[in-house]
Amino acid sequence: MDSQVDRYDAENPEFSNTFLRLKKFLERQVGKAIADFNMIEDGDVVMVCCSGGKDSYSLLSILLALRARAPIDFRIVAMNLDQKQPGFPEHVLPAYFEKLGIEHRIVTEDTYSIVKSKIPEGKTTCSLCSRLRRGIIYRVAHEIGATKIALGHHRDDMLETLFLNMFFGGQIKSMPPKLCSDDGQNIVIRPLAYCSERDLERFARAMEYPIIPCNLCGSQETAQRKQVKAMLREWEQQHPGRIESLATALTHIVPSHLQDHSLFDFKNLQRDTPVGEGDIAFDTAETSQKPHLVPLEGIVRKQNVIVSSLHKAI
């Protein structure tokens, strides 16, 4: 990775500065997400799931860079699951990991044939495919003693999921930055939670990763996901700041101003019940509160010594 940066330095100092700034910015965002959600602790074994796409390559590079200067000790094991999709270039990721000289594990499981045999032609295969993949990932994490499983989902994946759930599922629900599996055995983390897809695209382009196409299985994004993606892209272009505000909104939920009885006890609300968010009953929706835009840089929440020192080192 450093040789890549050096090459940019030698070839084009101006471009190199832009690249280095972007690299630093992404590392700072990932460091902040790790600290905010206590994603990585001393002694962790982090299995980084690498699909060969721009996001997981970037995640791996950034975690390796952060580990090199973190005051805590954790192991990184890169993992790729070869699902036997037609045309999958199986040599690409092992060669890449070997070039980096990092611990890795390649797992081959023909989930493609299973999915094809079970799902009728023309139907969406993603749900069965992801279920099978999840089971394999959890099994491999157990085999290698991983304490964390890192996935490459980013901020825009999370916002897309939020709107998909609202538009088509009747729920306010996104993708969590950190979650525990149903069986209580695995902690899944998404360290790119604060990173925009656009920045990751720029970073991956500059890093010249050997990208593996993501459409080998023949499945397409659903029409709904495409619609939501297009809507967010349009907002990003036409309303600067809106996407950042939405991302910040995910971190500032006000249960007493929604309608979920499991989050706020409306029935027992009395005149003397303290409500943290205050009285805005007669304020207009637009002016009651400014969007709580918090710059991602510059905040250190002191959760514990290890996490905050990791963040500061970053």
Nearer to ligand SF4, 111 or 196 (CB): 111
- Residue 108: CB minimum distance to ligand SF4, A: 15
Tell me if 191 sits within 8 A of 310, measured CB to CB.
Answer: no
136 binds ligand SF4 (CB under 6 A): no
Beta carbons within 8 Å of 225's beta carbon, 6+ residues apart: 160, 164
Q: Ramachandran region of residue 291, left (φ > 0), alpha (ψ -120 to 50) or beta?
A: beta
Nearer to ligand SF4, 225 or 233 (CB): 225
> 275-296 b/e with 16+ CB inside 10 Å = b?
eeeeeeeeeeeeeeeeeeeeeb
108 binds ligand SF4 (CB under 6 A): no
With CB under 6 A as the contact rule, the residue among 126, 250, 254, 300 that binds ligand SF4 is 126
Q: Of the listed pieces 67-75, 121-129, 201-209, 241-249, which binds ligand SF4 according to CB under 6 A?
A: 121-129
Nearer to ligand SF4, 12 or 130 (CB): 130
Nearer to ligand SF4, 27 or 197 (CB): 197
130 binds ligand SF4 (CB under 6 A): yes
56 binds ligand SF4 (CB under 6 A): no
Beta carbons within 8 Å of 52's beta carbon, 6+ residues apart: 80, 92, 93, 210, 211, 212
164 binds ligand SF4 (CB under 6 A): no
- Residue 107: CB minimum distance to ligand SF4, A: 14
125 binds ligand SF4 (CB under 6 A): yes
Beta carbons within 8 Å of 294's beta carbon, 6+ residues apart: 248, 251
129 binds ligand SF4 (CB under 6 A): yes
The strand order across the sheet containing 75-82 reads 104-108, 75-82, 45-49, 148-150, 187-189, 178-180
Nearer to ligand SF4, 126 or 306 (CB): 126
CA 149 to CA 190: how far, in whole Å? 9
| Beta-bridge partner residues of 78 | 48, 104
Site string for ligand SF4, 210-249 (x = CB under 6 A): -------x-x------------------------------
CA 157 distance to own-chain centroid: 7
Site string for ligand SF4, 249-288 (x = CB under 6 A): ----------------------------------------
Site string for ligand SF4, 178-217 (x = CB under 6 A): ---------------------------------------x
Nearer to ligand SF4, 181 or 248 (CB): 181
The closest of 100, 99, 81 to 90, measured between CA atoms, is: 81
- Residue 125: CB minimum distance to ligand SF4, A: 4
The closest of 197, 158, 186 to 49, measured between CA atoms, is: 186
Nearer to ligand SF4, 108 or 130 (CB): 130
- Residue 176: CB minimum distance to ligand SF4, A: 19
Number of residues that bind ligand SF4 (CB under 6 A): 6
16 binds ligand SF4 (CB under 6 A): no
Binding footprint of ligand SF4 on the chain (CB under 6 A)? 125-126, 129-130, 217, 219
